[in-house]
Each structure stands twice: as structure tokens, then as C-alpha cells.
């Protein structure tokens, strides 16, 4: 999570002060708490991740397993912390306690923490910053430690993390060891550690790491060069997102954190440039990132295949982190819009509805055969999903001296009392994303005049705001609707967002989805799954984007979803049978009318390994 930066326009309330109390995200958080986090405990044991740390603590048995597995443990601990901030859970806190003791015991005398380089390769510490994940792991340790302290007051892990951070600050820096982390992550973590402790040297170390980039010395795996690690160009000179998508987006999140504290405008200019490049050239409709499996990387401009794309769950999480920080800088809706798009699509597709299985890769089309596993050998995504779901409420709202800003619509409680600015407690009630109606009640206020700002999402063609039954404004998407007054307890504000399903068209420069449309409703991207279309091969489906679509609430489907019914055609292969290419105009295709059922993309692959597609040919 992010504390307010000194340069941020808006501030984040303390952990737990913006919390989900019902609705869509409460359900996801309950599954996360009851199913995913306990299953994570079992998987981390079964896969040897805990045992690695036990070995480092001098207490394990058997073989050391996956090299970078410490980070899976840290992210899982961070998830427990956030989850406990929502609702204390003695069961998972007891699991965490056991693991924290191990990590304490595994720390070396000089502060260094990394089970692989303690147990297996003790002489090779810091020998390959590009490919070993020591600084990356340090970052996740620091983040888990801060989360645990903020959530529960338990600062045992924070003591470990600070000793490690102090050790890193002794090793790296001007006049000491040079180099940058091959996998960014420690940047945001050290900025947050600076926020938590006030120790300036942690912030200086981030500046150092950021300035080291562009040496061209880090070379990627296989045929990848320095671009894989974003080491091909200095951070301030980059003009396009490039290389390994997760690394790129953890880096931009960290650099934005650095700007939030230092105000170095050259960094912000670069981040804004990269954001424009990414959204104009290298983003899937689902806000998935990384179009190429090879290098798990950003691809060329407009190279956005639906089938062979990577769109790693961790990349969507990283994008969410980055957009949150950009939003804090200057409060533009575009950042909250993109955060929302990742949250409900490219991110949420990374976990099954029952919280038991995951996706690492999130394509927008499957020709069948893709199934979710319970865990991965490289299990970076599952615990990253857990911590992000547990933290969902964090993204709901911010505060400023002049008021409260609501960004993500969740049934939630926003407690800004005790912070600088108006002393306010709000409750938000909504069936979002199924309904566009949001009711905000002022539960407490201090009598002063303050401004309530409500995001009208960029996707929304029309919205209205009413205060205690009185209309106060109409809006088109892409603004914050603001109402300033001396509020009284019990005042209600009703935001109504138009939620008609809409056909989306791709920029004609995108080759992979030419001649196709996708369906969105509210923030949700929809998809067709073969399980919902009996006797239809998804290869042969077309739709007329002039058609009227209908929605149906289906409480028993996929834990409750709004489906979209779309009039469509199923084209016969007819003259094409057995031919891939024919002279233009020589093959006729005729169709039969059908009604297609679309479900939210995030919920795909929960009912077997059938076909799926987001983009549907026009016909």
C-alpha cells in the first residue's frame, strides 16, 4: 500500500480506513480469506518455499527448492496483513507468526536475508544483479514488513526488513557498489520504508538505483538484450514501455513513488510519456500488459494478439500500482480509469471465482484446452493476487485538505476522521459493477464545508448526481463530479452511471483484431465462452454491432454475474471447407441467427477448458 507522498495532490487514508463492507469486493475478499490464503499456506509448504527458509534458519530438512521462492512467502504474508486490517483473522495470523519466526531466524548476522544465497550459494551474494532476485526479494520483504506493522502493530518483520535495508544501503550507493536491480520492486518498497521510518537514506538509495539504469550492462535471457531489464536507456530518456512487462511496470511504479517524495519533475515527465506510450500502443482491452510470450514482454506498437499474448497477472497488478501512484500525483481520472480496468479484467482473471486456481497468463482468446492450475512452479502471481484482493478497499478513496475523493465504487466505509482535512466518515453502498447506482451517506462530518469528488469513469456516456434527492449535475465520463457544501450527517449523494452494454472497436492499426468488436458493460470486458453457446463453434460466430443487447442477472452463475445477450450469426464454412485461402469473392458464407451469451472476462475458464473469445468478428 501507499502512504501519502509529500508531492501528492491527494492522500491515502491509513490502512483499514477505507475498507470494503459488502458487495462485489466483500465476496472476493471473503473467498480470499477463507480459501486462497489458507491454500497458499499449504502450497508454500508443499512446494518447499517454507522449507527453504527453514533450511536458512538451520532447521529444515531435505533439498532446497525453487530459487526465488522467498518472495512468494513475503507476498503471502503481506496478504495476511491486509486481510487482517479488514478483519482480524487469528487463524491466518497464527500461520504468519510461524513464518515470521522462521524469517527472523534465517536472517544473517550482517542483516542479509535470502535463503538461496545463504543455503546454496553462500559465496555468490550480489554477484548477478540482473538475473538473481535478491533486491527484488528484499523489496517484497520490506513491503510485507510494513504491511504487518501497519495492520497489526507487530514490528518483528519490520526489524528484519530494516536491518536488511541498512545492509543494502551499506553495500550499494555512490562511492560503493554500483548496479541496479534486475527485477525492480525494491524502489517502491524503500520509498514506503522511508515514509514509514523517516530515514532519508532509504529514499536516496532509490534515487541511486533509478539513476543506475541505462548502462546497457544488464543483458536479458537468451536473445534478449538490456531492454529486457529496462537497462537500455536512462529512466528519464525512455520514450516507450519495453522489455519484460512486470519489470517495466514495477519500475514505473517505483519511479513514480520517488517523484512523489522528491518532486523531481524530469522523472514525472518520463512517467507521463511512458504512460501515454503504453495506453496508445501497447495495452490489451482488458488492461493486460505484455503482448509477447517471448521475454514476457511489451511488443511493438499495435502488436496486440488475443491468443498468443502474455498479459501476466503480475503485470496487471503492477499497472494497478503504477496507476494508483500517478493518480495520487495529479488526480486525473485517466489513471483511476485504467486502475479500474486492470482491477476488473486483466487482474481479476488471474484467479478463479472459487479462489482455488490461478492464471499466470491471461489471453483474450482461447481455442480450447486452457485450464487454471492450483499453483505454479514460479508462483509469483497467486500470492500477488491475494495481497491485491485483500487491499482492494485501499483504492476506493483519497482525502485532501479540501475534501474526499471517491475513485472506485465499492460498498465500503471511508474513514477520514483523524487525518488532516475535514473530519469525515462516509459509507458507500452499491451493486457496482452490476449496477451503476452508488449511494454515499455522510455518516460523520465536522460541520466545515468540504468537497466530495466522485469519479465519472471515462467509459461512461452519461452520469447524474443528486444530493439528498435533489439533482445537482449531469456528466459525461472522464471527470470528477464535485459537490462542495457544509455537509450534515445523514446527507446522501446518489451517483447514477449509465451501464448500457456497448460494442468497442479496435484502432485499425491493430492487425490482430481487425474487423472485430468486443462487448463492455461498465468497467467489465465481456467474453464468449463455448460452454454458454450450445452447438456453436466460436470460430464461426459473428455479430452486428448495430444490434441491441440485453442484460440478465444470473445469481447462480459464476458466483453471480450479469450476462449480456447478443444477437449473432453462426457462419457456415460452406465453400471454405478444407481451404485456407481462396480468391477474394469466390467463397460465400451464410449464417444462421443465434443469441450469444457473454460473461465477464474475469470469470472465464471457471467451467472447463472450452473456447473463449473477447473480440468477435463483425458480420
Residues with a catalytic annotation lie at: 296, 380
Q: Measured from the CB of residue 548, what is the shortest distance to a second copy in angstroms?
A: 13
Q: Whats the size of the chain, residue-wise?
A: 619
Q: Are 567 and 595 in contact (CB under 8 A)?
A: yes
Spatial separation of the C-alpha atoms in residues 461 and 238, rounded to whole Å: 34
Per DSSP, 351 falls in state B
Q: Measured from the CB of residue 115, what is the shortest distance to a second copy in angstroms?
A: 25
Span 359-378, contacts to a second copy by CB under 8 A: 365, 367-368
Report if residue 508 touches a second copy, rule: CB under 8 A. yes
For residues 139 and 501, which CB has a smaller minimum distance to a second copy in the complex? 501
The residues, ordered by sequence, that sit 6+ positions from 453 with a Cβ below 8 Å of its Cβ are: 403, 404, 405, 406, 480, 481, 482
Residue from 58, 88, 216, 300 that binds a second copy (CB under 8 A)?
Answer: 300
CA dihedral 528, 534, 538, 539 (to 10 degrees): 180
For residues 126 and 302, which CB has a smaller minimum distance to a second copy in the complex? 302
Report if residue 330 touches a second copy, rule: CB under 8 A. no
The region of 45-53, 62-70, 201-209, 291-299 touching a second copy under the rule CB under 8 A is: 291-299
Site string for a second copy, 579-608 (x = CB under 8 A): xxxxxxxxx-x-------------------
Q: Measured from the CB of residue 233, what is the shortest distance to a second copy in angstroms?
A: 16
Q: Sign of the C-alpha dihedral, residues 316, 264, 242, 239?
A: positive
Place of cell 480459501: 35
Spatial separation of the C-alpha atoms in residues 437 and 126, rounded to whole Å: 53
With 0-12 / 13-18 / 19 or more C-beta atoms within 10 angstroms meaning exposed / middle / buried, residue 580 is exposed
Q: Which residues partner with 441 through β-bridges?
A: 427, 492
Spatial separation of the C-alpha atoms in residues 477 and 327, rounded to whole Å: 16
Residue from 127, 448, 468, 573 that binds a second copy (CB under 8 A)?
Answer: 573
Q: Are 290 and 310 in contact (CB under 8 A)?
A: yes
For residues 62 and 578, which CB has a smaller minimum distance to a second copy in the complex? 578
Query: ∠ at Cα 277 (273, 278), nearest 5°?
Result: 115
Report if residue 279 touches a second copy, rule: CB under 8 A. yes
The region of 128-136, 165-173, 389-397, 500-508 touching a second copy under the rule CB under 8 A is: 500-508
Q: Measured from the CB of residue 549, what is the shortest distance to a second copy in angstroms?
A: 12
Q: What is the total count of residues that contact a second copy (CB under 8 A)?
A: 58
Spatial separation of the C-alpha atoms in residues 219 and 393, rounded to whole Å: 39
Report if residue 302 touches a second copy, rule: CB under 8 A. yes
Residue from 154, 199, 293, 451 that binds a second copy (CB under 8 A)?
Answer: 293
For residues 237 and 537, which CB has a smaller minimum distance to a second copy in the complex? 537
Span 529-558, contacts to a second copy by CB under 8 A: 539-540, 545
CA dihedral 296, 514, 525, 279 (to 10 degrees): 60
In the complex, the residues that contact a second copy under the rule CB under 8 A are: 276, 279-281, 283, 285, 292-294, 300-308, 365, 367-368, 461, 502-518, 539-540, 545, 571, 573, 576, 578-587, 589, 615, 617
Amino acid at each position: 500500500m501507499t502512504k501519502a507522498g509529500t508531492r501528492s495532490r491527494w492522500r491515502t487514508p491509513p490502512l483499514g480506513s477505507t475498507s470494503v463492507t459488502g458487495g462485489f469486493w466483500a465476496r472476493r475478499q471473503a473467498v480470499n480469506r477463507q480459501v486462497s490464503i489458507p491454500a497458499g499456506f499449504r502450497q508454500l509448504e508443499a512446494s518447499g518455499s517454507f522449507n527453504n527458509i527453514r533450511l536458512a534458519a538451520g532447521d529444515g530438512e531435505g533439498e532446497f527448492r525453487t530459487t526465488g521462492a522467498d518472495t512468494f512467502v513475503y507476498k503471502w504474508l503481506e496478504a495476511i496483513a491486509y486481510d487482517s486490517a479488514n478483519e482480524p483473522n487469528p487463524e491466518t495470523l497464527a500461520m504468519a507468526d510461524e513464518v515470521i519466526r522462521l524469517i527472523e531466524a534465517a536472517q544473517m548476522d550482517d542483516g542479509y536475508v535470502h535463503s538461496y544465497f545463504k543455503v546454496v550459494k553462500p559465496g555468490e551474494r550480489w554477484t548477478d544483479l540482473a538475473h538473481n532476485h535478491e533486491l527484488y526479494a528484499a523489496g517484497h520483504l520490506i513491503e510485507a514488513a510494513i504491511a504487518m506493522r501497519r495492520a497489526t502493530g507487530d514490528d518483528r518483520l519490520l526489524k528484519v526488513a530494516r536491518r536488511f535495508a541498512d545492509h543494502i544501503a551499506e553495500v550499494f550507493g555512490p562511492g560503493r557498489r554500483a548496479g541496479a536491480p534486475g527485477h525492480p520492486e525494491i524502489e517502491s518498497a524503500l520509498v514506503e520504508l522511508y515514509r514509514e521510518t523517516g530515514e532519508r537514506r532509504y529514499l536516496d538509495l532509490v534515487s541511486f538505483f533509478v539513476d543506475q539504469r541505462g548502462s546497457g550492462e544488464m543483458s536479458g535471457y537468451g536473445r534478449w538484450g538490456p531492454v529486457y531489464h529496462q537497462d537500455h536507456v536512462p529512466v528519464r530518456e525512455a520514450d516507450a514501455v519495453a522489455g519484460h512487462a512486470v519489470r517495466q511496470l514495477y519500475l514505473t511504479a517505483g519511479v513514480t513513488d520517488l517523484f512523489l517524495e522528491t518532486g523531481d519533475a524530469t522523472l514525472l515527465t518520463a512517467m507521463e510519456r511512458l504512460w501515454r506510450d503504453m495506453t496508445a500502443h501497447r495495452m490489451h482491452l482488458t488492461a493486460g500488459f505484455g503482448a509477447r510470450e517471448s521475454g514476457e514482454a511489451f511488443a511493438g506498437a499495435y502488436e496486440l494478439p488475443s491468443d498468443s499474448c502474455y498479459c501476466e497477472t503480475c503485470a496487471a497488478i503492477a499497472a494497478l500500482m503504477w496507476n494508483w501512484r500517478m493518480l495520487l500525483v495529479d488526480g486525473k481520472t485517466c489513471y483511476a480509469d485504467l486502475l479500474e480496468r486492470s482491477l476488473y479484467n486483466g487482474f481479476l482473471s488471474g484467479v478463479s471465482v472459487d479462489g482455488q486456481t490461478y492464471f499466470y497468463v491471461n489471453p483474450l482468446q482461447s481455442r480450447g484446452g486452457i485450464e487454471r492450475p492450483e499453483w505454479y512452479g514460479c508462483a509469483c502471481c497467486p500470492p500477488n493476487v491475494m495481497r491485491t484482493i485483500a487491499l482492494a478497499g485501499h483504492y476506493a478513496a483519497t482525502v485532501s485538505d479540501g475534501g474526499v475523493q471517491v475513485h472506485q465504487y465499492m460498498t465500503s466505509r471511508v474513514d477520514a476522521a483523524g487525518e488532516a482535512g475535514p473530519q469525515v466518515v462516509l459509507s458507500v453502498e452499491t451493486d457496482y459493477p452490476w449496477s451503476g447506482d452508488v449511494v454515499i451517506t455522510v455518516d460523520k462530518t465536522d460541520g466545515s464545508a468540504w468537497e466530495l469528488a466522485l469519479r465519472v469513469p471515462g467509459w461512461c456516456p452519461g452520469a447524474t448526481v443528486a444530493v439528498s434527492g435533489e439533482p445537482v449535475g449531469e456528466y459525461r465520463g472522464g471527470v470528477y463530479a464535485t459537490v462542495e457544501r457544509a455537509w450534515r450527517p445523514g446527507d446522501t449523494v446518489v451517483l447514477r452511471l449509465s451501464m448500457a452494454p456497448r460494442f468497442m472497436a479496435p484502432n485499425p492499426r491493430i492487425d490482430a483484431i481487425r474487423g472485430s468488436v468486443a462487448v463492455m458493460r461498465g468497467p467489465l470486458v465481456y467474453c464468449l465462452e463455448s460452454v454458454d453457446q450450445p452447438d456453436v463453434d466460436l470460430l464461426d460466430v459473428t455479430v452486428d454491432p448495430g444490434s441491441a443487447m440485453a442484460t440478465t442477472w444470473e445469481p447462480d452463475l459464476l458466483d453471480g454475474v450479469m450476462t449480456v445477450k447478443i444477437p449473432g450469426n453462426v457462419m457456415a464454412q460452406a465453400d471454405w471447407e478444407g481451404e485456407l485461402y481462396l480468391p477474394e469473392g469466390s467463397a460465400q458464407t451464410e449464417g444462421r441467427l443465434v443469441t450469444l451469451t457473454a460473461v465477464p472476462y474475469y470469470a472465464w475458464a471457471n467451467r472447463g477448458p472450452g473456447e473463449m473469445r473477447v473480440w468477435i468478428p463483425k458480420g
